[in-house]
């Protein structure tokens, strides 16, 4: 869809995608831009007014992503470079091995050995993302298991994903989903997100009751919310 006149910045386009699963229209904003997802039954004429009603939030969020991209410390995906991991900087030891089909990543101390079959940052990035996903399952699972044990609750299942606009979610049936990129944040941020989702096992919405529950469990939760709002858009490798 061409640029929308309903945003103050006319250079911001927003492609529209119809979804059979969407019950309500929603807007996704990330470092790649703006997308609008609408139910099949929603008339196209209703999209622009809906986007207009969210224009302040859209433009503010885009500015946050641009600022984060400007100030973030770029990981150098090459031998001798570094990547973040729960508050630590891991030094990369990259080996290119001709004929290797499956990449191999191993952590020893603060050194991350990455063996790939072809040179270049894309091969290293792919290998690292698979490794981060595996580690995320381990890091999240132990925190999640401990948190539900403390609260006397339980969850149905855990999945690790690469959501564009969410750090985590909890469904009505207790299914938990976490973004692997949380491992690029400090450990206390991951701890907070886990407690946030465990609180949703008791209160699904973001009501006053929910936030009061979160504050009892994580008294400084606002600090972590602010960190994610300001620094979260830069959590990429």
- Is 6 inside a domain boundary? no
Residue range of the domain that includes 143: 82-234
Indicate whether 51 and 92 sit together in one domain. Answer: no
Distance, in Å, from the CA atom of 158 to the CA atom of 175, rounded to the nearest integer, reads 6
pLDDT digits (tens, 9 = 90+) for 71-119: 455 567 899 999 999 999 999 999 999 889 999 999 999 999 999 999 9
Distance, in Å, from the CA atom of 136 to the CA atom of 181, rounded to the nearest integer, reads 8
pLDDT digits (tens, 9 = 90+) for 110-156: 999 999 999 999 999 999 999 999 999 999 999 999 999 999 999 99
Distance, in Å, from the CA atom of 140 to the CA atom of 129, rounded to the nearest integer, reads 16
* CA of residue 43 relative to chain centroid, distance: 31
Q: How confident is the model at residue 21 (pLDDT cuts 50, 70, 90)?
A: confident
For residues 77 and 97, the answer to whether their CB atoms sit within 8 Å is: no
Residues shown for the chain: 237
- Is 5 inside a domain boundary? no
Indicate whether 32 and 113 sit together in one domain. Answer: no
Indicate whether 54 and 99 sit together in one domain. Answer: no
Indicate whether 207 and 99 sit together in one domain. Answer: yes
Instruction: Write down the residue that tokens 């079959």 correspond to.
Output: 117
For residues 64 and 230, the answer to whether their CB atoms sit within 8 Å is: yes
Cite the DSSP H helix spans in the chain. Answer: 47-53, 55-71, 121-151, 187-200, 208-217, 221-231
Look up the CATH number of the domain holding residue 212: 3.30.2010.10
Indicate whether 66 and 90 sit together in one domain. Answer: no
Indicate whether 105 and 174 sit together in one domain. Answer: yes
Q: Which residues contact 5 (CB under 8 A, 6 or more apart)?
A: 48
For residues 237 and 124, the answer to whether their CB atoms sit within 8 Å is: no
Structure-token pair, residue 203:
């209160």
Rounded to 5°, the CA angle 26-29-31 comes to 160
Distance, in Å, from the CA atom of 46 to the CA atom of 145, rounded to the nearest integer, reads 44
Residue 1: its pLDDT value, please? 37
Residue 55: its pLDDT value, please? 86
Indicate whether 173 and 133 sit together in one domain. Answer: yes
Structure-token pair, residue 133:
């996903």
Residue 74: its pLDDT value, please? 56
- Is 9 inside a domain boundary? no
Number of separate domains in the chain: 2
Sequence-separated contacts (24+) of 202-209 with Cβ below 8 Å:
202/151, 202/153, 204/170, 204/172
pLDDT digits (tens, 9 = 90+) for 143-167: 999 999 999 999 999 999 998 778 9
CA nearest neighbour of 132 among 112, 150, 147: 112
Q: Is the pLDDT of residue 4 over 50?
A: no
Residue 18, H or E segment = strand 16-19
């Amino acid at each position: 869809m061409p640029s929308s006149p309903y945003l103050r910045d006319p250079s911001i386009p927003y492609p529209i995608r119809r979804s059979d699963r969407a019950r309500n229209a929603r807007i996704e904003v990330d470092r790649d831009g703006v997308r609008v997802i609408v139910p099949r039954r929603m008339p196209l004429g209703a999209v622009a007014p809906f986007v207009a009603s969210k224009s302040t939030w859209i433009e503010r969020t885009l500015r946050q992503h641009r600022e984060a991209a400007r100030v973030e410390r770029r990981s150098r995906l090459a031998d001798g470079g570094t990547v973040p991991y729960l508050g630590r900087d891991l030094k990369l030891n990259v080996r290119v091995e001709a004929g290797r089909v499956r990449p191999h990543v191993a952590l020893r101390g603060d050194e991350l050995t990455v063996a790939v079959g072809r040179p270049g940052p894309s091969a290293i990035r792919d290998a690292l993302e698979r490794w981060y996903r595996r580690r995320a399952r381990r890091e999240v699972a132990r925190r999640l298991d401990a948190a539900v044990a403390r609260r006397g609750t339980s969850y149905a299942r855990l999945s690790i994903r690469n959501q564009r606009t969410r750090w985590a979610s909890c469904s009505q049936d207790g299914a938990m989903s976490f973004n692997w990129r949380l491992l690029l944040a400090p450990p206390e941020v991951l701890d907070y997100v886990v407690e946030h989702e465990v609180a949703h096992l008791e209160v699904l919405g973001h009501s006053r009751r929910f936030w009061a529950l979160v504050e009892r469990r994580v008294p400084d939760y606002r600090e972590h919310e602010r960190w994610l709002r300001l620094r979260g858009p830069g959590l990429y490798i």
